[in-house]
Every structure is written in C-alpha cells, then in structure tokens.
C-alpha cells in the first residue's frame, strides 16, 4: 500500500480496513490478522499496527475476544454507518476539487450521469 | 536501553562522530539516516565495540559496552564478510559457532521466506541475494539489539520488501532494531523513529507519526528540510 505523506500511517491503514469491511472484502465477524501479520501485510511498524487495532476498536469496527484475537464487527448497522461516513468524506473531497474548477452542482451531476467509466 | 553519551570519534584530519548523545529504547525500530560519510557506520561500530571512541561512551542496560553486551548486540556490516568457499548452510554453521543466541531454526525460516537455497555458494550470489543472506544470518540471532548497516543498498524492490518484512517479523517489545540507510521513503512506514546524523553530529530524532500528526509532514519532507537536497540521489 502506498501511503500519502501528510496523514498518520495508522489512520491510513484504519481507513483501508474499514473500506474492506464496508465493501465486503472482510466479512462481518471475520477474524482479522494478528498485529504482527497486519504489520507484515501493510509493511508497517508493529507499534503502528497495535495502534490500528486500538483505533478500529474505539470506532467500533472490530472487537477483541480474549485469547482469540481480533474480529470485524458483527453489527450491520455499524457497517452501514461506516459506509455513509466514508461515502460522505469521498463526496466532500470530490466536491472540493470540482468546485475548484468552477463547476456548479447541476453541471457536476450531469457530468456524473454522462460519465462512461466503470460504475 | 542503549545510551550514546557524548560519543566522539576522531580520525586523522576528520571527526567522524561528533559528540552524539541519545537514548534508544527496546520495542522500537529506528532509522539512522544521513548522507554517506555522515558518521552512521562509525557510530554503529562503536556500539558493537569494533571501534573505540576518542571520548564519550556507550552504555547498554546501565553498563558500559563490553563482552557481555556483545552477546546481545547483533551487527550487520555493509561490506560482505563471508569466505568464497562457503555455502549458505556453511554461513549458518559459522554463525552458530560464534554466537550462542543463533537459532538455526530461525535461520532456515528466514532463508525460506527469502527464497535462498542452503546449497548455494556465497561467491555465486547476486548482490540482492547477498544482501538478503546477510540480513537472514544476522536476524537469526535472538539478540536484543540489531544494528543493520545499509541493508537496502543496491538491491531491487522485491528484495527490499523481503528485508523489511524480516525486520518487522523479528521486531519485539524486548528488542530494538537500528537500520541505517539513505533510502528514506523505503523505511518510512516501517520504523517508528528516525535519527538524523548530519556532518557527524546528531541533527534530531523524530517520531514518524508525530511528524505527520503535528506538523503534517512525512519523514522524507523532514529529511529534505534538514539535509537540504533531494532524497535518494544515490543508488
């Protein structure tokens, strides 16, 4: 994974994992890799991967079963909430760049409808 | 804990390390960064006891470094140091004879991960394979401090990834890794702190996540700011 240079690395990994939970690459209630495995998978410091799980747990994206490891949330409402939040963030970023080009909302909507790319 | 206390090394006509003081803790992976000739290797060699400082000293867990500390400090030099006739298996045996904490099992696991065959002769290895072998044999020790001098030098991207993965896999709360390099970007996600050495002096120690969180800059940005030229010009 390529990391952008401004945001803390742990947050970038947190968002990548949340996206996988939202898009179903990680199933509801699926066991997640150990801290060390996660560090190797994302080429990050083991302390960073510990922080990733801490943050995911704080946000309710995963939970720990004592002695068993970390699991993705089993709560579909939570996953729906992440989906909305992450879509909102993506939309804000899109609108910011489109606004910078001096394109208004109606024009932007038309452009999305006419766009030929993969959807 | 490893402490460098006002350590200085002068060679004829050149101060290689100039009054460097710092404390390094277990449970961390440090990058030791600076251009060639800035003093990284000399500092590492003083930590291992291969070079005596002109003044100042290195303390390991509260005692000056010596024979006991050498048992717990593993050092990988830049230059290759195996005999031509050795096979990869021989290199393992050689290390096993030298170091009590060498684990043959760990060695074989690392070799497997790096796709190195024990029957290969060291003289026939490509530079990438040689780099991986050096890391494997060093990291196969159950040392408390690992000093890797330029482990990423002159090797391709895949070999670099394998080396970094070996480092991550062997990092533990009770050990410390110090990796010197001038390839800042490669180390950025793997280390948690970076030590900058400029013109033989300590030019700062930075926590990577704090830099991003507090200043909104990457390690590479900070490196450019401190050293004032483009990064990764070598290799």
The answer to whether A40 contacts B28, with C-beta atoms less than 8 Å apart, is: no
ipTM of the shown complex: 0.82
B211 at interface of A, judged by CB pairs closer than 8 A? no
Shortest Cα distance, chain A CAs vs residue B83, angstroms:
32
A9 vs B: CB within 8 A: yes
Enclosing H/E stretch for A2: none
Block mean pLDDT (10 aa), chain B, length 235:
95 94 96 92 94 94 88 91 92 94 95 92 91 94 96 87 91 95 90 95 95 93 84 46
Domains in chain A: boundaries: 9-74, 77-118
pLDDT at res. B235: 40
Interface size A-B, in CB pairs within 8 Å, comes to 57
The residue count for chain B: 235
Considering only CB atoms, A5 lies closest to which of B169, B191, B218, namely: B218
Residue A75 and residue A36 in contact, taking contact as beta carbons nearer than 8 Å: no
Main-chain dihedrals φ then ψ at residue B229, nearest 5 degrees:
-155, 170
Phi, psi of B206 (to 5 degrees): -125, 140
Is B213 close to A3, i.e. CB distance below 8 A?
Answer: no
Which tens digit of pLDDT belongs to each residue from B49-89? 999 999 999 999 999 998 888 889 999 999 878 898 999 99
pLDDT of residue B229: 61
pLDDT score for A32: 96
Contacts of B161 in chain A (CB under 8 A): 43
Query: By CA distance, what is B166's nearest residue in A?
Result: A40
**B168 in contact with A at a CB cutoff of 8 Å?**
yes
Q: Report chain B residues whose CB lies below 8 A from the CB of A47.
A: 27-28, 192
A33: closest CA of chain B, how far (Å): 14
Cα distances from A87 to residues A15, A83, A84, B157, in angstroms, run: 12, 6, 5, 34
Indicate yes or no: CB of A45 within 8 angstroms of CB of B29. yes
Give me the residue from A6, A10, A44 closest to B190, CB to CB.
A44
Query: Residues B180, B149: contact at Cβ < 8 Å?
Result: yes
In this prediction, residue A119 carries a pLDDT of 63
**Beta carbons within 8 Å of B71's beta carbon, 6+ residues apart:** B99, B100, B101
Residues B34, A62: Cα–Cα separation, whole Å = 40
Q: Are B24 and B142 in contact (CB under 8 A)?
A: no
Distance of CA A37 to the CA centre of its chain: 19
> Which pLDDT score, from 0 to 100, does residue B68 have?
85
A62 sits in which H/E element? strand A62-65
For residue B182, list its beta bridge partners: none
CA of A4 vs chain B CAs: smallest distance (Å) = 8
Please identify every stretch of chain A with a pLDDT value under 50, giving residue numbers as ranges: none
A45·B190 Cβ contact <8 A: yes
- Position B42 scores a pLDDT of 95
Q: How many helices (H) and strands (E) does chain A have?
A: 5, 2
Across the strands, what pairs with B195? B32, B205
For every residue of chain B, DSSP letters joined together read -EEEEEEEEEETTEEEEEEEEEEE-TTEEEEEE--TTSSHHHHHHHHHTSS--SEEEEEETTEE-SHHHHTTEEEE-SS----TT-BHHHHHHHHHHH-TTB-HHHHHHHHHHTT--TTSBGGG--HHHHHHHHHHHHHTB--SEEEEESTTTT--HHHHHHHHHHHHHH--TT-EEEEEES-HHHHHTT-SEEEEEETTEEEEEEEHHHIIIII---HHHHHHHHH-S-S----
Q: Which DSSP helix (H) or strand (E) runs through A71?
A: strand A69-72
**Residue B146 confidence (pLDDT):** 97
B203: left (phi over 0), alpha (psi -120 to 50) or beta: alpha
Q: Which CATH architecture has domain A9-74?
A: Orthogonal Bundle (1.10)
Mutual orientation of helices B127-139 and B157-170 as an angle, nearest 10°? 0
A54 vs B: CB within 8 A: no
Instruction: Give the phi and the psi of residue A27 in degrees, each rounded to 5.
Output: -75, 155
Contact B208 A36 (CB under 8 A): no
| B208 interface with A at CB cutoff 8 Å | yes
pLDDT at position B185 is: 87
């Amino acid at each position: 994974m390529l990391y952008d240079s401004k945001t803390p690395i742990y947050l970038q990994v947190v968002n990548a994992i949340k996206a996988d939970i939202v898009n179903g690459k990680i199933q509801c209630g699926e066991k997640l890799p150990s801290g060390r495995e996660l560090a190797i998978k994302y080429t990050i410091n083991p302390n960073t991967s510990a922080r990733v799980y801490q943050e995911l747990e704080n946000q309710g994206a995963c939970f720990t079963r004592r002695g068993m490891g970390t699991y993705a949330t089993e709560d579909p409402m939570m996953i729906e909430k992440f989906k909305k939040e992450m879509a909102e963030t993506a939309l804000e970023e899109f609108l910011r760049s489109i606004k910078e080009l001096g394109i208004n909302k109606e024009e932007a909507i038309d452009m999305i409808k006419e766009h030929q790319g993969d959807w | 804990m490893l402490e460098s206390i006002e350590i200085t090394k002068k060679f004829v006509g050149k101060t290689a390390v100039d009054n460097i003081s710092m404390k390094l803790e277990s449970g961390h992976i440090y990058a030791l960064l600076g251009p060639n000739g800035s003093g990284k290797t000399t500092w590492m060699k003083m930590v291992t006891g291969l070079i005596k400082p002109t003044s100042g000293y290195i303390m390991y867990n509260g005692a000056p470094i010596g024979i006991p500390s050498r048992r717990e400090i593993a050092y990988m030099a830049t230059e290759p140091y195996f005999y031509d006739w050795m096979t990869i298996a021989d290199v393992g045996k050689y290390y096993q004879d030298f170091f009590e904490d060498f684990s043959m099992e760990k060695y074989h696991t690392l070799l497997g991960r790096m796709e190195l065959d024990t029957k290969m002769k060291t003289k026939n290895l490509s530079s990438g394979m040689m780099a991986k072998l050096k890391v494997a044999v060093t990291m196969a020790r159950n040392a408390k401090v690992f000093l890797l001098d330029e482990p990423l030098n002159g090797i391709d991207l895949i070999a670099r990834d394998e080396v970094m993965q070996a480092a991550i896999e062997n990092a533990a709360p009770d050990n410390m890794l110090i990796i010197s390099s001038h390839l800042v970007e490669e180390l950025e996600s793997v280390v948690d702190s970076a030590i900058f050495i400029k013109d033989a002096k300590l030019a700062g120690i930075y926590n990577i996540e704090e830099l991003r969180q507090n200043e909104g800059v990457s390690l590479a940005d900070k490196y450019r700011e401190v050293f004032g030229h483009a990064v990764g010009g070598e290799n």
